[in-house]
């Protein structure tokens, strides 16, 4: 969006495709069909992001990642064109730095105590789309387990080599918390479940009772 290659509302096709020797497909085998960015963020549609990445965008993304606190994984190199970068390929970030990155996306005034490299997200249109996508992930997407009545959470799920994470902020319209949680193995929703428990515990401490909508027994942590 910042370099004008994608405009909000445009749809990209999530159909699997091959590039070089590698096959790219969404976690959803059938694909999500024509998808725009808010939905792609909400349902974590890899196909959308593969389809939107050309050579320059991949290089730009790696450069942005390095400026934002990501570092190279020793012994691995990020896979660049003609291949497409997949999150986690050769790049890593600590949970604290990822939380700081999310803090740079949220609306509102930031605490001066947040230390680290400056967060390079400045395009207000792109920021609005990212926030909308993260809100939709919890209202009706991959982070649905963290949907709490009266306490809107916005976040993004991710998984890589058996770790499942969730990076989120809340309340979505006037954020007070940024929480990043990782779990190793277990339920695909591990990180989301940890965040849900964190927020419920906070609300409980504030004397606020939340109607327990979704039972999370199926997603018990290991």
* Identity of the residue, 35 or 68, whose beta carbon is nearer to Zn ion in the bound complex: 35
Q: Which residues, in sequence order, are bridge partners of residue 165? A: 158, 182
Whole-number minimum distance, CB 2 to Zn ion, in Å?
A: 23
Q: How far is the CB of 4 from Zn ion (least distance, A)?
A: 24
Rounded distance between C-alpha atoms, residue 203 and residue 143, angstroms: 19
Inter-residue contact 76 to 90 (CB < 8 Å): yes
Instruction: Rule CB under 5 A: say whether 41 interacts with Zn ion.
Output: no
Span near Zn ion by CB under 5 A; candidates 18-26, 52-60, 71-79, 186-194: 18-26
User: Which range touches Zn ion (CB under 5 A), out of 29-37, 53-61, 78-86, 108-116?
Assistant: 29-37
Q: Tell me the closest approach of the beta carbon of residue 84 to Zn ion, in angstroms.
A: 14
B/e letters for 73-111, b = 16+ CB within 10 Å, e = fewer, are eeeeebbeeeebbbebbbbebeeebbbbbbbbbbeeeee
Q: Which of 12, 37, 42, 45 binds Zn ion (CB under 5 A)?
A: 45
Return the residues of window 186-205 that contact Zn ion according to CB under 5 A.
none
Residue 26 touching Zn ion (CB under 5 A): yes
Query: How many angstroms separate the Cα of 38 from the Cα of each of 8, 48, 59, 101?
Result: 8, 11, 23, 19
* CA of residue 33 relative to chain centroid, distance: 20
Angle, CA 84 vertex, CA 79 and CA 85 arms, to 5°: 55
Residue of the chain from 38, 47, 90, 136 that contacts Zn ion (CB under 5 A): 47
Nearer to Zn ion, 32 or 189 (CB): 32
Q: What is the binding site for Zn ion (CB under 5 A)? A: 14, 26, 28, 32, 45, 47
């Amino acid at each position: 969006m910042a370099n004008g290659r994608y405009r909000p509302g445009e749809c990209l096709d999530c159909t699997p495709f091959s590039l070089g020797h590698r096959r790219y497909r969404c976690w959803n085998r059938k694909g999500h069909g024509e998808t725009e960015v808010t939905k792609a963020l909400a349902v974590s549609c890899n196909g959308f992001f593969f389809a939107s990445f050309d050579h320059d965008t991949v290089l730009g993304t790696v450069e942005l990642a390095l400026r934002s606190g990501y570092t190279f994984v020793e012994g691995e190199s990020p896979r660049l064109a003609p291949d497409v970068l997949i999150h986690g390929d050769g790049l890593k970030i600590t949970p604290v730095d990822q939380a700081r990155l999310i803090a740079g996306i949220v609306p509102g005034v930031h605490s001066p105590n947040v230390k680290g490299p400056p967060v390079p997200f400045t395009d207000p249109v792109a920021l609005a789309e990212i926030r909308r996508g993260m809100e939709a992930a919890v209202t009706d997407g991959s982070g649905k387990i963290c949907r709490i009545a009266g306490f809107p959470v916005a976040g993004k799920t991710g998984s890589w080599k058996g770790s499942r994470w969730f990076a989120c902020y809340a309340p979505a319209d006037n954020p007070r918390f940024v929480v990043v949680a990782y779990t190793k193995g277990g339920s695909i929703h591990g990180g989301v479940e940890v965040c849900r428990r964190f927020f419920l515990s906070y609300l409980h401490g504030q004397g606020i009772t939340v109607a327990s909508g979704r039972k999370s027994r199926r997603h018990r942590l290991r």
